[in-house]
Amino acid sequence: MENQKYLDDLQDIRKMMNRSTQFLSLSGLSGVFAGTYALIGAWLANSLIRAEVEKDYYVRYRDFENLLFFKVAGIGLVVLLLSVVSALICTHLKARKNQESIWNATSKRLIVNFLIPLFAGGIFALILLRHSYFGLIAPVTLIFYGLACIQASKFTHRDVRYLGLTILVIGLFNAEYPGYGFECWSLGFGVCHIFYGAIMYFKYDRNS
């Protein structure tokens, strides 16, 4: 009886230590939603480009920039907004269920460490876009997003690190073979998010 009480006390202490150093209310469902949005967005963007190519056999870069770029960028913005809103809602619900604040010192550190590589990658991608290096935009976004996940994983579930490593490898592959941008982008941001999000949901969310 005393041994069981001792073990229970140790588990309580461990939970308190984890809560002070890790934000454990990150929801796996938010990853599933983000991956689904990414796949739909990639399909829509690819369909737009294919339709334009079929309409005009020769598509000039100026036409691409003026006509397609803003449409594709708009799709990407909608995907990003939907992903952020879904993540906030799912994480808020899980945090409330776990009686944890969604905005604390640990979650702030997580967000800062996630955003630094993400913003750096976004600026780099815009520079590449400005100089018409279109084939490198997809791998750069994958690589820096993977690094952002790895950096943020110090403050949340370890599964986020594996997600980041997987996306990083996909981005490096895409950098070597830039012709597979849509495929790698869909695999990294779409399939990987759904896969790891489902794993996190069944490991941490379903029985919490």
* CA–CA distance, 33 with 90 (Å, rounded to integer): 10
pLDDT at 71: 78
pLDDT at 27: 80
Query: Could you read off the pLDDT of 90-118 as tens digits, one per residue?
Result: 888 887 877 777 777 777 888 889 899 99
Instruction: With H, G, I as helix, E, B as strand and everything else as coil, classify residue 156.
Output: coil
pLDDT higher than 70, residue 66? no
* CA–CA distance, 165 with 154 (Å, rounded to integer): 13
Model confidence, pTM: 0.80
CB 136 within 8 A of CB 176: no
At position 113, the amino acid (one-letter code) is N
pLDDT at 140: 94
* CA–CA distance, 72 with 125 (Å, rounded to integer): 14
Query: Could you read off the pLDDT of 5-47 as tens digits, one per residue?
Result: 554 544 544 454 444 456 666 788 888 999 999 999 989 888 8
CB 123 within 8 A of CB 89: no
**Of 170, 201, 200, which is closest to residue 187 (Cα–Cα)?**
170
